[in-house]
Amino acid sequence: MSFVPAAGDKGEAKPAATAAGPEIRILLIEDDGEIAEEIIDDLTDRGYEVIHVADGVQGLERARGGDLSLLIVDRLLPGLDGLAILETLRREKVPTPALVLSALGDVDDRVSGLKAGGDDYLAKPFAFVELAARIEALLRRPVLGRETVLRVGPLELDLVDRTVFRAGRAIELLPREFKLLEYLMRRPGQVMTRAMLLGDVWNYRFVTVTNLVDVHIGKLRRKIDGPDEPQMIHTIRGAGFMLSAPQ
C-alpha cells in the first residue's frame, strides 16, 4: 500500500529539532517501509526520538521496555496485529499511551481500536500536522502508574529530578550516561547486546563497527562502581553488558 499524505500537509513549517525535547521517545510499529520512513523523518524533524519496529511480535517486546513516551501502532502487522499488541500491554498494566494507525477508518474500526487499549485512532491517509497534534495531545495527558524512580539494589535513578544515587552517594552523569543507565536499570539482570544499545540508546538504525558503547560503559562503570563497592555493571564476554544488584 502506498502512502499519500492528506491534503494541506505540504509546506507546513516545523519547529526546530529540539522543540520536543530529547526525552520524548516514540515507538513506531509499522510494517510499511515507505510510511514508516515518512513518519520517522517528520517526527525527527519535530524533535522526537523515534524507534521503528516492523514486526508485531518484536513491537510488543520493545513496547514492554517501559522507557517509552508514546506508541504509534499500525493495526495490520505481520506476526501479531496491532490490537492484540495493545490488549496484551493493557493486560500487563503497561500504561504507555498509544495511537492506532489504520487504513480501516469506519466507526466500528475506531471503536475496536479504542476498546483494545488505544488512546487515539487516526485513519490513513492523514496529514502530518494532524498526527503531530494528536501526539502532542496524548503526551499532555498524565499517565497513571508511570514510574518516576528506578531502583536496582543500592542504585536509585530519579527520572523527574534527573538524579542518581548509590547508597546515598550522589553520582553526576552526563545526559548520554544518564540515558544509558536508565536503559540498563529498566532491564536488570538482562544481557544487552551492543547492537541493542546502539539502536535504543543512540538510535542508530544500522549497526556499525564502533567502540562507542564500550567507551560509554567504561565511563559509566567508573562512576557507578566505586573503588570499595561491589561491581554492578558487568561485561558478558561475547554477548554484551548487564546491570545487576550486588549479591
Question: How far apart are alpha carbons 129 and 7 in whole angstroms?
Answer: 10
CATH class assigned to 25-140: alpha beta
Give pLDDT, residue 142.
64
Instruction: State residue 206's pLDDT score.
Output: 67
Domain 149-243 has CATH 3.30.460.10: no
* 3-class DSSP state of 151: strand
Question: Would you call 192 exposed, middle or buried from its count of C-beta atoms within 10 A (0-12, 13-18, 19+)?
Answer: buried
Residues of the chain with CATH 1.10.10.10: 149-243
Q: What is the mean pLDDT of each run of 10 residues along the chain (247 residues)?
A: 42 42 81 93 92 94 86 93 92 89 83 89 90 90 65 90 92 93 90 86 73 94 91 93 91
Give pLDDT, residue 208. 66
Write down the pLDDT at residue 104: 82
Rg (CA), the chain: 19
Q: Cell numbers for 197, please give them.
A: 544499545
What's the CA gap between 12 and 15, in Å, rounded? 10
Residue ranges of the chain assigned to CATH 3.40.50.2300: 25-140
Cβ count within 10 A of residue 233: 20
Is residue 72 classed exposed, middle or buried when 0-12, 13-18 and 19+ CB atoms within 10 A define those classes?
buried
Q: What is the pLDDT of residue 33?
A: 92
